[in-house]
Chain A
């Protein structure tokens, strides 16, 4: 509807209140416009060519107004007409060679305007501006400006530095005050004290035309520490926004049926006794019993079973299962908090409460450091008060110099610089660090536990013995399979097409939901489907069965491995880690995968609680466990492990419980992650060593009263630059 002509022609507002109508229409139209914005996550985009391909490819889709890739966040925002949906754009991107996931634009808008980050950047810019100007004046003083000139320069420096410190130092003052109020001595207390003491001492010296003013130190301190704070914030903000993106992947809606009318409602609106329609390919939104329809469901995310299970009227289904073949009408028995999905979450809560809170390297450093610095500074003050017989000005000057020099410029940068460099590197490899300490924990890992279905395997079956079928039967199988969208049938079609088998000419094709496909071939009935329906003895593995006249054939399937799985396992073993495989699936399926990947230690048919128990036992035995899993049945184990990784395709709960998310399909980055994490921990330790070394040299000078603002400035900037450069050495 056009907004330009609200008063003429077919305008519906032929009413007295029509004057108000245009604005109402405009508001509605604006909301419509917002709804037309689609956000897609693009985990594999990485270069200029990617941006052109994606943007041009999407703009060629009818109805799309514009598309813009954000390479930093790996997402594309599409401005399109309401009829264009994310589901229709994902295949377009897949055709261009890019994996894409839908994101909830509503959820994302909150993270897009990163207010806190912009605020920090603003303060950082002010501190940088002040630092450069004050340094300019300070250099003049250090190189010999005297008397009136020096005083003038000090006054100008004060005029620049004092407002800067008040404005830019606020994040430190606030957090120091917060930690003091609860009676703790955080890293921000010595920082704030040093900044405030440096500024006030310098102001005092300026007023009494003293020789040394530390304005440059106060501003420089603020600048370097803000830089560390900003890096830290950015790492966390990127992780948080991406984690929220992933949370937005599952759009929690269900089709409620009332009096034969289907309406799309949010899951929270569902109640016990409601009827819900679940289409083939859809995920069960609730726990319930089937009222109408037969189908097969994929329970792999809940139990790890790779074999689809049959469901018909009066069978119960659980939230999270995927409906495969026929439409189902389900009566809700438990929704929301009561559903089995949420009961699994309780298991996670138990596992998480049992887990020790990890103390990061930075926290440990701060704990040792803060009291030491205060002690040094105060004892220097006390000593010089006694030595000089009560020269307050001199003693305060010394204790301020001690605080300024020991102030953890390098310490403030040591961790954020390394973590930023490492997580940036891992992000480019397709790994998202959700938790700041995850890298440090990952570096300690000595045991890796894998889940099978959906983690080591894609959850996409591939047929094993297609070539064992007689030639005629191959064509029949292919012809029948082509009529179904069941994953096993699709796998058959893929295998047949790859072999170049022509599909047989079948008539009367019909899919019997939950059982299989039937048809007519040269006058005889042919069927492809479940063992009991065909009348064939069932195999222990994932299989489908074919009946041609009296003959019965079995076709078994194995799950295809995730790309990079073999390389990842081999690399982990080469790094000397113990690898275990735990799965809820049948022994045959698990042993096949274990053999293929050469994992000697495996267990099949493991229940969720047993998985968590296995991990907890390993931990209790002193092992540091990395758990890699995707299903709900892994969630408790993911939470119990020292550190955990889950693929982006896994369920919401599993991703929430894990520390690192694998964004792409490829599994090989896991081995890189371990290597990089060990490197980054080593760099962090080196950085602590470096900043300690600077202190060892500069602190004695400060204690005996030989420190000048020049020495403080040199120590500060040199140590900050060294730790930043050291952080960049991560390969």
Chain B
């Protein structure tokens, strides 16, 4: 059962990283237009060459 001493902190740490990432995304306004972002990947504008 000693493995718990590693696993529980590890799982908490990883979850915390996810939470921090979410906070960062929220703060950098990535949730302002969810519908638009979902549709933007379907645009054909830069299919042939990368955006200059």
Residues on A lying within 8 angstroms of B by beta carbon are 47-49, 51-52, 56, 69-73, 118, 121-122, 125-126, 129, 132-133, 136-137, 149, 152, 156, 160
Q: Assuming the A-B contacts A118-B26, A156-B8, are A72 and B36 also in contact, with contact meaning beta carbons closer than 8 angstroms in the complex?
A: yes
Residue interface mask B14-51, A partner, CB < 8 A = 1: 01101100110010000111111001111111000000
The answer on a CB contact under 8 Å between A129 and B18 is yes
Q: Assuming the A-B contacts A48-B43, A121-B26, are A129 and B19 also in contact, with contact meaning beta carbons closer than 8 angstroms in the complex?
A: yes
| Complex Cα–Cα for A129 and B20 (A) | 10
**Chain B residue, CB-CB nearest to A75:** B33
The answer on a CB contact under 8 Å between A72 and B8 is no
The answer on a CB contact under 8 Å between A136 and B11 is yes
Tell me the smallest distance from the CB of A295 to a CB of chain B, in Å.
44
Q: Which chain B positions have C-beta within 8 A of A118?
A: 26, 31
| Complex Cα–Cα for A71 and B43 (A) | 13
The answer on a CB contact under 8 Å between B16 and A51 is no
Set B11, B15, B44: member contacting A52, Cβ < 8 A: B44
The answer on a CB contact under 8 Å between B39 and A47 is yes
| Complex Cα–Cα for A29 and B45 (A) | 33
The answer on a CB contact under 8 Å between B11 and A122 is no
Tell me the smallest distance from the CB of B31 to a CB of chain A, in Å.
7
Q: Assuming the A-B contacts A52-B45, A122-B26, A156-B8, are A132 and B15 also in contact, with contact meaning beta carbons closer than 8 angstroms in the complex?
A: yes
Q: Assuming the A-B contacts A133-B15, A149-B1, are A71 and B23 also in contact, with contact meaning beta carbons closer than 8 angstroms in the complex?
A: no
The answer on a CB contact under 8 Å between A71 and B39 is yes
| Complex Cα–Cα for A517 and B45 (A) | 50
Q: Which chain B positions have C-beta within 8 A of A71?
A: 33, 35-36, 39
The answer on a CB contact under 8 Å between A72 and B34 is yes
Sample of 4 more A-B contacts, CB < 8 Å, known A51-B40, A73-B33, A129-B16: A48-B41, A72-B34, A118-B26, A121-B26
| Complex Cα–Cα for A136 and B4 (A) | 13
Q: Is B12 an interface residue (CB 8 A)?
A: yes
A-B contact pairs, 11 of them (CB 8 A): A47-B39, A48-B39, A51-B40, A73-B33, A118-B31, A122-B23, A125-B22, A126-B19, A133-B15, A149-B1, A152-B4
Tell me the smallest distance from the CB of B19 to a CB of chain A, in Å.
5
The answer on a CB contact under 8 Å between B33 and A70 is yes
Q: Which chain B positions have C-beta within 8 A of A52?
A: 43-45
Tell me the smallest distance from the CB of A245 to a CB of chain B, in Å.
15
Tell me the smallest distance from the CB of B37 to a CB of chain A, in Å.
8
Q: Which chain A positions have C-beta within 8 A of B22?
A: 125
Tell me the smallest distance from the CB of A51 to a CB of chain B, in Å.
6
The answer on a CB contact under 8 Å between B32 and A70 is yes
| Complex Cα–Cα for A133 and B7 (A) | 12
- The listed residue with most B CB atoms (<10 A of its CB), out of A47, A51, A149, is A51
Set B12, B23, B26, B33: member contacting A72, Cβ < 8 A: B33
- The listed residue with most A CB atoms (<10 A of its CB), out of B34, B39, B41, B42, is B39
Q: Assuming the A-B contacts A48-B42, A72-B35, are A133 and B26 also in contact, with contact meaning beta carbons closer than 8 angstroms in the complex?
A: no
Q: Which chain B positions have C-beta within 8 A of A129?
A: 15-16, 18-19
Tell me the smallest distance from the CB of B17 to a CB of chain A, in Å.
10
**Chain B residue, CB-CB nearest to A159:** B12
Tell me the smallest distance from the CB of B36 to a CB of chain A, in Å.
3
Q: Which chain B positions have C-beta within 8 A of A132?
A: 15
The answer on a CB contact under 8 Å between B32 and A72 is yes
Q: Which chain B positions have C-beta within 8 A of A122?
A: 23, 26
The answer on a CB contact under 8 Å between B36 and A69 is yes
Q: Which chain B positions have C-beta within 8 A of A152?
A: 4
- The listed residue with most A CB atoms (<10 A of its CB), out of B11, B22, B23, B44, is B22
- The listed residue with most B CB atoms (<10 A of its CB), out of A52, A149, A160, is A52
Tell me the smallest distance from the CB of A118 to a CB of chain B, in Å.
6
Closest 5 CB pairs of A and B: A71-B36, A48-B42, A48-B39, A72-B35, A71-B35
| Complex Cα–Cα for A73 and B32 (A) | 9
| Complex Cα–Cα for A56 and B43 (A) | 12
The answer on a CB contact under 8 Å between A133 and B12 is yes
Q: Which chain A positions have C-beta within 8 A of B32?
A: 70, 72
| Complex Cα–Cα for A47 and B44 (A) | 12
The answer on a CB contact under 8 Å between A125 and B23 is yes
Q: Assuming the A-B contacts A48-B39, A70-B32, A136-B11, are A125 and B45 also in contact, with contact meaning beta carbons closer than 8 angstroms in the complex?
A: no
| Complex Cα–Cα for A553 and B23 (A) | 73
The answer on a CB contact under 8 Å between A133 and B40 is no
Q: Which chain B positions have C-beta within 8 A of A72?
A: 32-36
| Complex Cα–Cα for A133 and B17 (A) | 13
| Complex Cα–Cα for A160 and B12 (A) | 9
Q: Assuming the A-B contacts A52-B45, A118-B26, are A125 and B39 also in contact, with contact meaning beta carbons closer than 8 angstroms in the complex?
A: no
- The listed residue with most A CB atoms (<10 A of its CB), out of B1, B4, B35, is B35
Set B4, B11, B15, B43: member contacting A51, Cβ < 8 A: B43
**Chain A residue, CB-CB nearest to B38:** A71
Q: Which chain A positions have C-beta within 8 A of B36?
A: 51, 69-72
**Chain A residue, CB-CB nearest to B36:** A71
**Chain B residue, CB-CB nearest to A119:** B26
Q: Assuming the A-B contacts A122-B26, A125-B22, are A48 and B33 also in contact, with contact meaning beta carbons closer than 8 angstroms in the complex?
A: no
Q: Which chain A positions have C-beta within 8 A of B8?
A: 137, 156
Q: Which chain B positions have C-beta within 8 A of A160?
A: 12
**Chain B residue, CB-CB nearest to A148:** B1
Q: Which chain B positions have C-beta within 8 A of A137?
A: 8
Q: Which chain A positions have C-beta within 8 A of B15?
A: 129, 132-133
Tell me the smallest distance from the CB of B6 to a CB of chain A, in Å.
14
Q: Which chain B positions have C-beta within 8 A of A69?
A: 36
The answer on a CB contact under 8 Å between A121 and B31 is yes
| Complex Cα–Cα for A69 and B41 (A) | 14
Tell me the smallest distance from the CB of A235 to a CB of chain B, in Å.
15
- The listed residue with most A CB atoms (<10 A of its CB), out of B15, B36, B41, B45, is B36
Q: Assuming the A-B contacts A72-B35, A72-B36, are A125 and B19 also in contact, with contact meaning beta carbons closer than 8 angstroms in the complex?
A: yes
